[in-house]
Structure 1
């Protein structure tokens, strides 16, 4: 084979270039520390390295998210820790407020500090995570969750969600909290039921019922019919106290059986016998001719003008209500209707209206023959002015009660004074009241879209607060068996009511109590209508301060409700304590009730004032303990999440080491082998270069 000079040169050059390329590649590998300089060096390893690198980068993102989550959770825990510290101070102030040695000025100062603490808790509840996101607003991180004050209450504007951060491939860690869960929805009382003072009650007349009779003369004389009439001494003319109720027995001629003269109210009149619900009214020994030989027992609250017709027959007596809704509610109101929404929302309508009633016993409005007629007035609850006259609402002749009432007829909010809705004098609405209202009965008509209403306003009996007069203080209560408390026979709207026998004037006269289902007004001891004194008396259990009031051994079907409540002090006759299912109450509501209650009792004196104060403080301390427990629960949950973030951080660190180890195995260079290869390649290159020089210098002429 002939080898040309060109072939020799080409072969030498190619050999040198190949060795140079290999040398340079090895030098690059050594300088970079990488075995693969391009994917083509090892396609399988390169693909695997790409996957591992992506996983490592995702893991790095999780590590960043874990750090952010720990930061947010740490801030949240710190703010709740500050809240717990504030609650400790608030509880100290609450306990201090109960010190009997404090002056009204001292308690006023405590209330002022509590107001400042209230604002601090609102500020803590509106904390952010440092990036402008609110911690306690649920999903709505950009919305300030809480707004309000002590007097108007605090509202929550967030939701029930929790914002999350993805901190691992399978875990999204919550980094916010619902303000409802932390500050708003806190079980009050002992978590099962809550004890309390009597709440608001209707100011309207209550039902008056005949409970029974005691017959002592089986053959009474033929006396015809009598009337049992009632009168309320609103002005305390007889000295028995404002609004004391008296009764008279009247014959067919209109004469009082007690005086033999025409029946009249007021000073010097014939209504001189005080009425007590449940106490028998004797029909004997009044006037011998009219001796029925009997007693009648009524319960409830009579109003001026209430009348019962009494008829005797051999061995029996009947009493029929003739001037009130017999055995039914006195008066009820419907939901009302709006015929013109534009008029209802007019500027002249305050949205806080009342329908008030008055019984014209003397016929001052309609004159002779209208005695006992009922009239109504429409009143602006904000100003107290009559919508009919524009002046202050007033009864009597010349007053604003000029519209005759008819049960079931529409009461229209029109023909009003120009001052309220110029120029139409019409609110475009009406309500219907049925039954027999008593003087002073009132129904509220208030604007609102509550589902209980008609979409424009809500009607209801006017309510007023009721205060205990004794020194009784009720505790939190104890749950012995929650299953029994949840019995279907338990309405969970119960009251402990107290009564003293007015006929027992001894120094140590006992106080009795009854346990009452307020839904049915039935005694749990007897399953009959709760009645104090007289026939059917249900106040049969003697009260002793400090002894548990046990809700067991009750009449069927109640039997046993599995709870007890302890009351200290001396309740007065008529005092009431409520026992209801636990509901949720916000920390702001608890503090607001405490502050306002403390401010309201600053001037209270005597055992009644002290009892009211201690009940308020006791309820507040109980609920504050529940708030503190709830904060601890949330903090424990946050601590769990912080611990989880730490654990996930450790896992991420281990994963990162594994990824680096895998990448090292796929990409890193074997320095010992590469350096040896580099030395060999340098020698080979030098040899190739020297050989090329010598071979390229050879010629046939060298051998001639």
Structure 2
């Protein structure tokens, strides 16, 4: 085989270039500390590196989100601690207001103190975070949650939106509670009753704190209305009307019961008792209202009487608390379609198809879907309709309204007027009951905030472990082994020197240099 001089030179030059390229690659590895200079060095490891780097980046983003949530929750916790302190002081003031030795002037001074406390409470309710956003206004962060009208009545102006922050791959956390929940509602699970007195009462009857005597009583969770009338012999009688959360009458008015002013409690139907003293006048009225509901839905016939046929409508039931129809009104209408009875559902205005109806029989239920059912049996007539409506406690628990009521009562002269004194005591008792409920709710929210902060700490600890694992995996895939790289660098340097010397040797070879 004949080897030309060009082939000698090309082979030598190509060998030197390859060795230089390999040497440069080793220089880059040692200089950057990275094992992979290009994805071609290790395609599989390069793909794994991209996935791990993305996970690491998300982990860092979630950590930053958690820091934001911790800041927001910390501000809320500090604000609510101040609210708790203020409410505790107000409760002490209300106990002081019940002192029978106070004059009208003393009560007027106390009214001024409570007005200042109300202003302070409103300032806390309208607190902002470090970015100028209102803490308790839901999604309406640029709008103050509570606004007073020209008469001083305070109402909630925010929305019920939740400020959710993604604190982990599968966890969103509420970073702020709404003022509606904190200052106008009872704590979940609360089973308290609040008393109210009619504005026009003329007697000296004083209603006290209600208690649930029988937790399984038939009307626990219902509203009670007491009406006093004067009997023909001049004695006082009272009757009781029981209503549900939607104000439908469940029972009553009851047969009048003789009132004995020496009694200390009145037994209301269905498991509730209430403290009572004094002598009410003819026409005086009182109410005992729950801050909770035992049934989240109620049912009521909507069509004209006579359309029910043999149908018997009972109570609704919840089959799935997370169902589609939770918190929505469901209207059910029946029609006779050529001899076939059918029913149709309308959920919050959205009408569904007609469905053939089959009588469930005695003790049966009609499954409405969406997590709801209703006790129903019999065959209704064409045109029959009923509704299943969500309900919430109707009791007014706005803490600012409670303060307004007691401030107005403190400003009203009562000296020498037994009826006015009784009305004052009733308003004071109602305000104290509502403040107790508000205070419990604030404490519940503070506890919830602490729980969320603890959860963030736990997620942080887990995130740190994940971050360390991601860093180790990236190091294993990307970082160069300096011992191996330096050894390879020396080896490639020697190889390049050898290739250069060989090329020089070949370059010096010539037919004219050979001896004959």
Q: Same fold (TM over 0.5)?
A: yes
Residues 1:562 and 2:271 are matched in the alignment: yes
Instruction: Give 1:584's match in structure 2, choosing from 379, 396, 415.
Output: 396
Aligned counterpart for 2:225 among listed residues 481, 493, 496: 493
Query: What's the CA shift for 1:79?
Result: 1.4
Say if 2:477 is the partner of 1:477: no
Residues 485, 563 of structure 1: 8 Å contact kept:
no
How far apart are 1:643 and its partner, in Å?
2.1
Shift of 1:627: 0.3
- Aligned equivalents of 1:639, 1:497: Cα separation in 2: 52
The alignment covers a number of residue pairs equal to 403
Check the 8 A contact 1:23/1:678 in 2, yes or no. Answer: yes
The structure-2 alpha-carbon separation of the partners of 1:166 and 1:498, relative to structure 1 and needing over 3 Å to count, comes to: farther
Q: 1:550 aligns with which of 267, 288, 310?
A: 267
Contact 1:491–1:517 (CA<8 Å) still a contact in 2?
Answer: no
C-alpha distance in structure 1 between counterparts of 2:473 and 2:242, whole Å:
74
* Residue 482 of structure 1, CA deviation: 4.3
| 2:237 is the alignment partner of 1:514 | yes
How many Å apart are 1:631 and its aligned residue?
0.8
Tell me the equivalent position of 1:467: 201
2:242–2:252 Cα contact (<8 Å) kept:
no
Aligned-partner Cα distance in 2 for 1:492–1:482: 16
CA distance in 2, matches of 1:82, 1:49: 50
Equivalent residue number for residue 678 of structure 1: 489
Q: Where does residue 141 of structure 1 map in the other structure?
A: 141
- CA deviations 1:637-678 (Å, max 9, x no partner) are 222222222222223222222222222222111111111111
Query: What is aligned with 1:69?
Result: 69
Q: Please, which of 594, 615, 619 is the counterpart of residue 406 of structure 2?
A: 594
| Equivalent position SS for 1:475 | strand
Q: Which residue of 2 aligns with 1:80?
A: 80
**Kept after mapping to 2: 8 A contact 1:182/1:634:** yes
Return closer, same or farther for 1:680/1:153 CA change in 2, 3 Å cut-off.
same
In angstroms, what is the RMSD of aligned CA positions? 3.1
After TM superposition, give the deviation of residue 487 of structure 1 in Å: 7.6
Separation in 1, partners of 2:460, 2:230: 63
Q: TM-score, normalised by structure 2?
A: 0.70
C-alpha separation in 2, matches of 1:167 and 1:49: 24
More helix by share: 2
Change (3 A) 1:590 1:527: closer
Structure 1 unaligned residues grouped into runs of 5+:
200-464, 503-511, 531-537, 552-559
Tell me if structure 2 keeps the 8 A contact 1:477–1:564.
yes
Cα separation, 1, equivalents of 2:49 and 2:77: 41
Aligned equivalents of 1:101 and 1:681: distance in 2? 103
Residue matched to 1:129: 129
CA distance in 1, matches of 2:464, 2:229: 67
- Distance, in Å, in 1 between the alignment partners of 2:145 and 2:203 is 41
Helix, strand or coil at the partner of 1:484: coil
CA shift in 2, pair 1:500/1:66, >3 Å: farther
Q: Secondary structure at the match of 1:72?
A: helix
Counterpart among 621, 632, 637 of residue 448 in structure 2: 637
Do the aligned residues in 1 keep the contact of 2:126 with 2:146 (CA within 8 Å)?
Answer: yes
Question: CA-to-partner distance for each residue in 1:362-404, whole Å, 9 max, x for gaps?
Answer: xxxxxxxxxxxxxxxxxxxxxxxxxxxxxxxxxxxxxxxxxxx
Q: Deviations over 1:327-354 (max 9, x none)?
A: xxxxxxxxxxxxxxxxxxxxxxxxxxxx
Distance 1:59 1:497, change over 3 A: farther
Q: Which residue of 2 aligns with 1:616?
A: 427
- On the 8 A contact 2:111/2:411 being kept in 1, the answer is yes
* Map of 1:34 onto structure 2: 34
* 8 Å contact from structure 2 (residues 239, 253) kept in 1: no
1:205-256 deviations in Å (ceiling 9; x for gaps): xxxxxxxxxxxxxxxxxxxxxxxxxxxxxxxxxxxxxxxxxxxxxxxxxxxx
Q: Structure 2: which 5+ runs fail to align? A: 244-250, 291-394
Q: Is the 8 A contact 2:236 2:282 kept in 1?
A: no
CA contact (8 A) 2:227 2:283 kept: no
Match of 1:216 in 2: none
How is 1:147-186 mapped onto 2 (pairs within 5 angstroms)?
147-148=147-148, 151-186=151-186
Q: Is the counterpart of residue 114 in structure 1 residue 125 in structure 2?
A: no
Q: CA deviation at 1:17?
A: 1.8
In the superposition, relative to structure 1, how do residues 112 and 13 fare at CA in structure 2: closer, same or farther (>3 Å)?
same
SS of residue paired to 1:669 = coil
1:475/1:566 contact within 8 Å kept: yes
Choose between structure 1 and 2 for higher RCO, CA contacts under 8 A separated by at least 6 residues.
2
Query: For 1:527 and 1:691, how far apart are their aligned partners in 2?
Result: 119
Separation in structure 1 between the aligned mates of residue 210 and residue 228 of structure 2, nearest angstrom: 12
* Aligned twin of 2:194: 194
8 Å CA contact 2:203, 2:280 repeated in 1: yes
Question: C-alpha displacement at 1:612, in angstroms?
Answer: 3.5
Which residue of structure 1 lines up, in the alignment, with residue 279 of structure 2? 571
Q: Contact (CA 8 Å) 2:138, 2:158: kept in 1 or not?
A: yes
Look up the match of 1:18: 18
Report the Cα distance in structure 2 between the residues aligned to 1:627 and 1:572, rounded to whole angstroms. 29
Per the TM alignment, residue 513 of structure 1 is displaced from its structure 2 partner at its CA by 5.2
